[in-house]
A = this chain, B = another copy of it.
Amino acid sequence: MNIGDVAKRTHLPPKTIRYYEDIGLITPPRDANGYRAFREADMHKLAFLGRARALGFTIEDCRNLLALWEDTARASADVKTIAQKHLLEIEEKITALQDMRDTLSTLVTACAGDSRPDCPILTDFAKEG
Residues on A lying within 8 angstroms of B by beta carbon are 44, 47-48, 51-52, 54-56, 65, 68-69, 71-77, 79-81, 83-84, 86-87, 90-91, 93-94, 97-98, 100-101, 103-105, 107-108, 111-119, 121-122, 124-126, 128
Contact A65 to B122, CB < 8 A, known contacts A55-B103, A56-B97: yes
- Closest beta carbon of chain B to A19's beta carbon, Å: 19
CB-contact partner of A126 in B69, B72, B76, B115, under 8 A: B69
Contact B125 A76 (CB under 8 A): no
Cβ-closest chain B residue relative to A117: B74
Contact B69 A113 (CB under 8 A): no
Contact A77 to B121, CB < 8 A, known contacts A86-B104, A90-B101, A97-B94: no
